[in-house]
A and B are shown apart, each in its own frame.
Chain A
Amino acid sequence: GQQLNQSPQSMFIQEGEDVSMNCTSSSIFNTWLWYKQDPGEGPVLLIALYKAGELTSNGRLTAQFGITRKDSFLNISASIPSDVGIYFCAGRLNAGNNRKLIWGLGTSLAVNP
């Protein structure tokens, strides 16, 4: 089935560093979503993007909907220990079966205090 390529698969950084992760697809999407999952909990929505080129911030997080509509990135500035978790991108196709989300495999983030 359809897949998103999410990278990197994992990251280990020092507290205070900036983080960047991205998702790409060979198909055009009309929605990009970024979620974070803390250990033992369900994913929580961080940012939703609905227009090509859209750049949206949520505190230290910034995400963009790529102009080609085939990619999106998430940046975290000045990381802190509570940023630890798994970050997932998800998108909705522009055509075909767009009733369900297509998910990336996640980026696991570890932050060294």
Chain B
Amino acid sequence: DADVTQTPRNRITKTGKRIMLECSQTKGHDRMYWYRQDPGLGLRLIYYSFDVKDINKGEISDGYSVSRQAQAKFSLSLESAIPNQTALYFCATSDSHQPQHFGDGTRLSIL
């Protein structure tokens, strides 16, 4: 079983729809992250959380929101999706001793 599980793995939706991407982990890490990957732009941090009550904006948080429902779960929402949010989204986890460990990604297409 994967340590960091992202659902769904692929999603195609229409402009204006609300979308939620889920991330769950079995690594026991307290820190969780959401990244977006676009060709040639590397990994850009959207939001991160260091525990259940801690939410921090990354470099590209506009248009996104997150919820840390439990230590093991961190969800990313797009309240009203737009085409330029089409990208590959990654969740990652870490703790104070371990570097970030990534899920396999969610490929999101917004038409």
Contacts of A35 in B (CB 8 A): 102
> Which of the residues A90, A100, A105 comes within 8 Å of B41, measured between beta carbons?
A105
The chain A residue with its CB closest to the CB of B101 is A45
Range of interface residues on A (Cβ < 8 Å): 20 to 34
Given A100-B45, A105-B42, do A44 and B100 touch, yes or no (CB 8 Å)? no
Q: How many residues of B contact A (CB 8 A)?
A: 22
The chain A residue with its CB closest to the CB of B50 is A99
Q: Are A48 and B43 in contact (CB under 8 A)?
A: no
Secondary structure of the B side of the interface? strand
Contacts of A45 in B (CB 8 A): 99-101
> Which of the residues B40, B104, B105 comes within 8 Å of A105, measured between beta carbons?
B40
Q: How far is the CA of A1 from the CA of B101 in the complex (A)?
A: 23
Given A1-B59, A42-B90, A42-B105, do A101 and B100 touch, yes or no (CB 8 Å)? yes
CB distance from A5 to the nearest CB of B (A): 12
Given A99-B56, A100-B45, A100-B58, do A42 and B103 touch, yes or no (CB 8 Å)? yes
Contacts of B41 in A (CB 8 A): 105
Q: How far is the CA of A45 from the CA of B94 in the complex (A)?
A: 12
Verify if B74 is at the interface (C-beta below 8 Å from A).
no
Q: Which residues of B contact A (CB under 8 A)?
A: 4, 33, 40-45, 48, 50, 56, 58-59, 90, 92, 99-105
